[in-house]
Structure 1
Amino acid sequence: MLISQKKSDMTKYIFSTDFPQQQYIQIKAEFDVREEVTYLQFPAWRPGRYELGNFAKNVRSFQVFSEEGKKLNFSKISKDTWEVDTSGCKVIQVRYSYYAADMNAGSTYLDDSMLYVNPVNCCIYCKGREEEACVLEVNVPEGREYAGGLKREGNRIEAESYHVLVDSPFVFAKELEHNTYEVGGVVFHIWFHGLNRPDWERILKDFTAFTTAQMKDFGEFPVDEYHFIFLIQPQRAYHGVEHQNSTIIVLGPSIDIFGSVYDDLLGVSSHELYHTWNVKSIRPVEMYPYDYSRENYSPLGYLCEGVTTYMGDYYLLKSGVFSLKEYLKEVYKLLNKHFENFGRFHYSVAESSFDTWLDGYTAGAPGRKVSIYNEGALIALLTDVFVMQKTDNRKSLNDVMRYLYYNYYLDKKGVSEADYLQAIKDVSGGDMYEIFEKYIHGTTTFESILADSFEYLGLEMEATPVSQTSLAAIGIKTTQSGEGWMITTVYPGSDADVGGLMIGDKIMAVNNYFVDGELDKWLDYFRNDQLTMVVNRKGKLIERTLPQTDKNYYLNYSLKKVYKPSVIQLQAFRKWTGFKLEETDL
């Protein structure tokens, strides 16, 4: 049933797609007037992506009219805010076109086969009136199917508030594949666009398994139904965005979805489902409620994204969807990304969370910051083991997250770091304050605490040199660029660093031999010799001689069993993985 409310109490949006080849959506927004001056705001960012999106950059032909169709005067007072003279008006209509040409999990896209909308990209609003109901009329060609978390009747979609509207992406498209499964009385919808003949038996079995495991640990699901909406691309793609009762996931290539990409499909789906509890329900106090007009700074990226990254993969193991080897492969990825990110020596996880708003999700200045996803996931693992240790394996991190869900979300409260620390203490009896100060707010290396945590589980880290000579012996990461090799990363203190090589240098020759696309073969050939390299540095050829050392720089990290694990270690490993360590081949 759609919302029953007076028209004057609702914001109304009308979407038209008259010229899809131009990729502009024509939008009309109607607001009732309450002041002589009305301020119209365009969202500056979208939840789930903690960086400015500046969506107003896609707006053209912005105009405002009275209910009689008279043009009203307005001034643009910031990059995404308009001041409108509405004296004498009861209703205004804002008209503009929105350019919809990006295809990712948080974008809006239009062509002659589909309309895909994240309303937070393109729906203007009156700041301070986000709690008011909204109605959306969508004019698309006949024969388009609908996928989305909001109910619709014909071309009409309603939301109980602007917050709900902008958290509810939808798709109108040809040829949507659809199926459902049910867990705990909740219906889960799976939609595919761009994929013919999904392997429904495999998908429904795996999705039911990890959904059941997550719901069992939380005890309930925050919403009545849920939608997985997959936009499958012919090229390589990987991106997911969480919403309260849905997720948009962009994946590709389509020809390999049920081959090598299937683990990605499972990983991102479990991750986004876990977000339904963590970040859409359990939310940082700084984002409760969301303010779409500006940055919502928070140091809690390690909770929002780190815990979700860890738990998303962990539930694939716990549900039996991933084997132990498949799960540990994801843990190894976390370890290797951690040790290869030199920003860990210079910028804390909390600072990096705060600064996603400064430089987004790009690598940025070399060695400056860390990933809230990767470092946060390792912190989540450490926290999981900490709680296990303090409770003789009776409790774990999922008990802490359940505590936050029932004591904060259901009480309609945001979570601070102090709240998170208190939740850990209430569940485990242990205090992680000093650990947080050292490893989340400080730059103390994780190596010792990781080693201690793995030791409790009967495991130890093992590091072996990578096979590529350029990484292991020289200390550079490269990508082929024409006839040379462009240096993308230099390991601090490595032979390459001491020898004066720089990021951006293009290696042309080794010991006077033109590399001709075979850099590592030439490095292997001269492995026991002094190395002299000719590089193209911004158009100038420069020669650099590297020191000779026997050090290895880039390493591959993995885990192995400790020698003669104790009873405590055997019990801990069984609690963590569900497997017997003594019977496991890592």
Structure 2
Amino acid sequence: MKFTFDIESPHKQYIQITAEIEVSKAETELFFPAWRPGRYELGDFAKNVNHFQILDEKGEKVEYQKSNKNTWIVQTSNVQTITVKYSYYAKDLNAGSTFLDASQLYVNPVNCCVFTDEIYNDPIQVELNIPDAWDVAHSLKVDNNSFTAANYDELVDSPFICSGNLQKTSYTVEGTTFYIWFNGIVKPDWKRLENDFKAFTISQIKAFSKFPTDEYHYLIQVLPYATYHGVEHSKSTVITLGPSYAVFEEFYKELLGVSSHELYHTWNVKSIRPVEMMPYNFKEENYTELGYIAEGVTTYMGDLMLYKSGVFNLKQYLQEMDKQIQKHMDNFGRLNYSVADSSFDTWLDGYVPGAPERKVSIYTEGCLLAFILDVHILKHTNNEKCLDDLMRELYLNYGDKGIGVSKADYLKEVERITNQTMQWFFDDYLHGTKAYTPLLIECLNEIGIKYNSTPVKSEFAAYLGAKIVEVNEATKIAALFPNSILDQAGAMVGDELLAMNGVSIQKNADRWARYFKNEEKVLIVNRGGKLIQLELPKSDEVYYQRYYLSQMKELSQAQKATFEAWKTV
């Protein structure tokens, strides 16, 4: 199989793609990927295809019929090779997309490369017709000026950037060379970057005992506007970050965070993979409940490795945990839907807010539950083992052997390392909706970390139970705390606040709420053109709060010992 990429008119953002595919059957099914790894929702990339045609080896048209949105039935009787020609519209620039303009050709092959079952495991050749002055950032093998992949899986797991603006550096750890590529407007601080990346790389490799590949590439698209996104691959990651001026200043911590997170994915999900995704099926959804391992553990360990390696200090690490706790407490879907169910439903609505109070984030819930599990392992092994040991065993005994991990496997390995019955943890917290704040506080206490809370600054949010936002000249309710004063009074998300106790609200809702704090209140709202009166009683109850962690001033010997074991690889 061979793919050729041409860019005849970059300003139109159409990439001309030619796929040469050997066939041997009278009828051949040709597929376009329906999704991409790292984003567990349907991508429907075939919607970007234009000028589609199929020719035989003589250049004559071959008959075909589209059977569904990403499948074509091709009549290949008496045909040995088909040539599929099409244009792919590449206007989106993020860490999982394909993009073309006058400055670059950036391709995630999983977005735009067709396949058949017959040649899926055959070697693939890639040719790029690009300007001579452009470099190519990639992880593919090079053979006679062409790029090669062992099979379709490797091809679609190997994004590349072709550009005249590429900059790179490299470092080596344990025999693996790591390349850091930047594309865009950026002034890298190479020395600082290499020192920090090398530090967290050493810690991660130490935790897993070895690295899965002999080279690795960070493909970093630096953009002039605010963005933050990363996607994992076996030998690389693509990261988009911006604005350019902030990447090595106030957003440098974000660059480190996303890079450490994506590197950890090299083991966790690219190797340690849910059994339902072993192998990937690009034709349809790959449902799994184990997002709390794939993304949850990675979110937790990605940041923790920055602390374990000395790249982050404790204050910086706790700030990242603060964010996760805040997201957890502000998402009331935690009362209704488990992280396992939410993982299954990423294919339904996992990356948009969706229905209020319906679901949770596999990143946030998985992260906090991974921390709890980490401390429980320390507790039940006298600080001799931790989550690092569990993940290393999963890598060596499953991922490195190409074996998928099931829920039963994970429970078995957790119970083996703790020598404790852990069914309660799975039933109540991973696959259930039992509130785990008390358990979280208990685990934080084990390592000498204090769990703090204080009312948020917004009076409406803290004491009336509504987050408010300014939309043009209007003040509107953006979220409601369940069973808060406003919720019980019948307020609705989207209500526009007009007046309180007869006084007009004009971008000063919090001030008036504070002024009338110790009084009963009458709130007038505009709801779809109708004026609604809401009566609010006096109350001192606090609703929305800010949650943050801090190290205890004095630690017991037990806390010190557990803390040291927790922060050490």
8 A contact 2:519–2:537 mirrored in 1: no
8 A contact 1:499–1:547 mirrored in 2: no
8 A contact 1:191–1:227 mirrored in 2: yes
Cα distance, 1:66 vs structure 2: 1.0
Question: 1-side partners of 2:326 and 2:12: how far apart?
Answer: 44
| Pick aligned residue for 1:428 from 418, 421, 424 | 418
Q: What amino acid is aligned across from residue 323 of structure 1 in structure 2?
A: N
Question: 2-side partners of 1:472 and 1:155: how far apart?
Answer: 63
1:250 matched to which residue of 2? Answer: 240
| Pick aligned residue for 1:91 from 81, 92, 95 | 81
Question: 2-side partners of 1:545 and 1:28: how far apart?
Answer: 67
Question: 2-side partners of 1:25 and 1:561: how far apart?
Answer: 54
1:349 matched to which residue of 2? Answer: 339
Question: 1-side partners of 2:448 and 2:549: how far apart?
Answer: 10
Deviations along 1:347-391, whole A, 9 cap, x unmatched?
A: 011100000001131111000000000000011101101110111
1:210 matched to which residue of 2? Answer: 200
Q: What amino acid is aligned across from residue 438 of structure 1 in structure 2?
A: D
1:378 matched to which residue of 2? Answer: 368
Cα distance, 1:171 vs structure 2: 0.3
Question: 2-side partners of 1:293 and 1:334: how far apart?
Answer: 34
Cα distance, 1:154 vs structure 2: 7.5
1:534 matched to which residue of 2? Answer: 524
Q: What amino acid is aligned across from residue 426 of structure 2 in structure 1?
A: F
1:297 aligns to 2:287 (yes or no): yes
Residues 123-134 of structure 1 mapped to structure 2, 5 A cutoff? 123-127=113-117, 129-134=119-124
Residues 352-431 of structure 1 mapped to structure 2, 5 A cutoff? 352-431=342-421
8 A contact 2:333–2:357 mirrored in 1: yes
Question: 1-side partners of 2:530 and 2:129: how far apart?
Answer: 57
SS of the residue 1:273 aligns to: helix
Cα distance, 1:578 vs structure 2: 5.6
Q: Percent identity?
A: 49
1:192 matched to which residue of 2? Answer: 182
SS of the residue 2:40 aligns to: strand
8 A contact 2:522–2:534 mirrored in 1: yes
Where do 5+ consecutive residues of structure 2 fail to align?
A: none
1:59 matched to which residue of 2? Answer: 49
Deviations along 1:420-464, whole A, 9 cap, x unmatched?
A: 112122222223211111001111001121122122223342221
1:493 aligns to 2:483 (yes or no): yes
1:3 matched to which residue of 2? Answer: none
Question: 2-side partners of 1:431 and 1:401: how far apart?
Answer: 19
- CA 1:63–1:539 in 2, change beyond 3 Å: closer, same or farther? farther
8 A contact 2:289–2:340 mirrored in 1: yes
Deviations along 1:296-346, whole A, 9 cap, x unmatched?
A: 000000000000000000000000000001111111111111111100111
Higher deviation after alignment, 119-128 or 348-357 = 119-128
Q: What amino acid is aligned across from residue 332 of structure 1 in structure 2?
A: D
1:329 aligns to 2:319 (yes or no): yes
SS of the residue 2:187 aligns to: coil
- CA 1:154–1:383 in 2, change beyond 3 Å: closer, same or farther? same
Cα distance, 1:565 vs structure 2: 4.2
SS of the residue 2:213 aligns to: coil
Residues 25-104 of structure 1 mapped to structure 2, 5 A cutoff? 25-104=15-94
Cα distance, 1:59 vs structure 2: 0.9
SS of the residue 2:315 aligns to: helix
Deviations along 1:405-425, whole A, 9 cap, x unmatched?
A: 111122221111111112122
Deviations along 1:221-273, whole A, 9 cap, x unmatched?
A: 00000001110111110000000010000001111111211111000000000
SS of the residue 1:125 aligns to: coil
Deviations along 1:100-151, whole A, 9 cap, x unmatched?
A: 0111100000001001000000001113532111111111122111101113
Question: 2-side partners of 1:538 and 1:371: how far apart?
Answer: 31
8 A contact 2:23–2:118 mirrored in 1: no
Higher deviation after alignment, 445-454 or 342-351 = 445-454
Q: What TM-score, normalized by structure 2, do the two folds share?
A: 0.97
Q: What TM-score, normalized by structure 1, do the two folds share?
A: 0.94
Q: What amino acid is aligned across from residue 166 of structure 1 in structure 2?
A: V
| Pick aligned residue for 1:172 from 145, 162, 166 | 162
SS of the residue 2:203 aligns to: helix
2:97 matched to which residue of 1? Answer: 107
| Pick aligned residue for 1:439 from 425, 429, 436 | 429
Q: What amino acid is aligned across from residue 369 of structure 1 in structure 2?
A: K
Q: What amino acid is aligned across from residue 159 of structure 2 in structure 1?
A: P
1:182 matched to which residue of 2? Answer: 172
Higher deviation after alignment, 304-313 or 407-416 = 407-416
Where do 5+ consecutive residues of structure 1 fail to align?
A: 1-10, 580-586
1:146 aligns to 2:136 (yes or no): yes
Deviations along 1:190-243, whole A, 9 cap, x unmatched?
A: 011113321111101100100011111111100000001110111110000000
Question: 2-side partners of 1:158 and 1:274: how far apart?
Answer: 26
Residues 256-295 of structure 1 mapped to structure 2, 5 A cutoff? 256-295=246-285
Q: What amino acid is aligned across from residue 263 of structure 1 in structure 2?
A: K
Q: CA RMSD in A?
A: 1.6
SS of the residue 1:51 aligns to: coil
Question: 1-side partners of 2:244 and 2:510: how far apart?
Answer: 33
Question: 1-side partners of 2:373 and 2:518: how far apart?
Answer: 45
Q: What amino acid is aligned across from residue 336 of structure 2 in structure 1?
A: H
Q: What amino acid is aligned across from residue 53 of structure 2 in structure 1?
A: Q
- CA 1:140–1:513 in 2, change beyond 3 Å: closer, same or farther? farther
Question: 2-side partners of 1:560 and 1:242: how far apart?
Answer: 32
8 A contact 2:34–2:44 mirrored in 1: yes
| Pick aligned residue for 1:574 from 542, 560, 564 | 564
Higher deviation after alignment, 481-490 or 376-385 = 481-490
Aligned positions, number: 569
SS of the residue 1:107 aligns to: coil
Q: What amino acid is aligned across from residue 150 of structure 2 in structure 1?
A: E
- CA 1:543–1:226 in 2, change beyond 3 Å: closer, same or farther? same
1:467 aligns to 2:457 (yes or no): yes
Question: 1-side partners of 2:64 and 2:528: how far apart?
Answer: 48
Deviations along 1:60-111, whole A, 9 cap, x unmatched?
A: 1211111111111111111110101111111111111111011110000000
Question: 2-side partners of 1:275 and 1:175: how far apart?
Answer: 27
Residues 216-231 of structure 1 mapped to structure 2, 5 A cutoff? 216-231=206-221
SS of the residue 1:136 aligns to: strand
